[in-house]
Amino acid sequence: MPIQIGVNALYLKPGAVGGTEVYLRSLLAAMSTVDQENEWIVFANSETPRDLVPEVPNFTFAPQSVNASFRPGRILYEQLVLPRKAARADVLFNPGFTAPVFGPKTVTVFHDLQHKRHPEHFRWFDLPFWNLLLWTSAKRSNRLITVSQATHDDLKKFYGLESDVILHGVDPQYFAIGARRLPEKFLLCVSTLHPHKNHLRLIRAYSRFRESYPEYDLVLAGLRGFAADQIEAEIARLGLAGHIRITGWVSQQELYDLYAGAAGMVYPSTFEGFGMPVIEAMAAQVPLASANIEPLHSLVDGHSLEFDPSDEDAITEALIGLINAPPPAGPALVRARQFSWEQAARQTLAVLKSTSSR
């Protein structure tokens, strides 16, 4: 019997929430191909473009009179108004950490628990709200989805709760990049400029790498985050302004082109809930070096040059390895094909339907 599924997309401010935007866009696109039976209503904010929601008969785009830019207003709307708007839904899907306390049955996605693992990376005035809202969402939700075993383990450790682990997929467009790759003299790092992404150590390691390979530049592609000013200051201090490019948020096509041209990809993060760029790099057949942390270690499954992200010498050696002894592209490509948004959509739909029938 068909059900009505509400989607709480109020959090999504385009170009400002990083991987969680990619997640929701990719999941909805895949869901529209695997589910033509159930009714989907996507409750978006006034800043969200229409193209978030697939234009198929059983998907409805329902923009609300609230801005994601004004977070207090968005949270109040989510708690007080959304439950009434979604009252007819058999289940409300919350893909961005937070959920209404009251209302229909809920399934909520936790992408990570950084606020518990690394509270030092949060602004003092933000952290209490993160702790309260995410604790409430975790305890209130009927089912929880986590995007990796590492996040599942954190959820159990900090909240004593179980979850369904549903891994991300990879955009099929990445698999076509390998055929058109024309590597240029630059290394690529794709991630938001946040402290835990470890750009400062990467920049210092790159400075040493340039002593032997001065012809290679470094491109940092991603949102300007909390560490952006520090990163720019370190680049200036080391005299690398002409060799390190910070792109800010880039379009999907620009990102494809960066992967197509990169000589190698480095991902030095000290903490991840999933780590989508490592899968993208393997799918695009870009030689990869990544931090030996979970869940990255399990995702790359031996098809990356792994290093200790706290060791600048180890990062330097990995950068050199990308040029001198890159991991073979073929096995990495095979590994990347194991990650599918269609599979993620089917698994998510099963959780939603199961929750609605309880």
Residue with tokens 């000589």: 263
* Token pair belonging to 152: 């599942």
Calpha distance 114→106 (Å, rounded): 22
Has residue 142 got a pLDDT over 70? yes
Has residue 358 got a pLDDT over 80? no
Report the CATH number of the 172-336 domain.
Answer: 3.40.50.2000
Would you list the domain boundaries of the chain?
Answer: 4-169+340-356, 172-336
Q: What is the pLDDT of residues 199-245, one digit of tens each?
A: 999 999 999 999 999 999 999 999 999 999 999 999 999 999 999 99
Q: Which amino acid appears at position 325 of this protein?
A: A
**Global pTM value:** 0.95
% pLDDT > 70, the chain: 100
4-169+340-356 and 172-336 agree in CATH topology: yes
Tell me, what's the pLDDT at 17?
A: 81
| Assigned CATH class of 4-169+340-356 | alpha beta
Residue with tokens 């993208």: 280
What mean pLDDT is reported for the chain?
Answer: 96
From the list 201, 188, 197, 209, the residue with the least C-alpha distance to 318 is 209
Residue 18 or 38, more confident: 38
Q: What is the pLDDT of residues 68-116, one digit of tens each?
A: 999 999 999 999 999 999 999 999 999 999 999 999 999 999 999 999 9
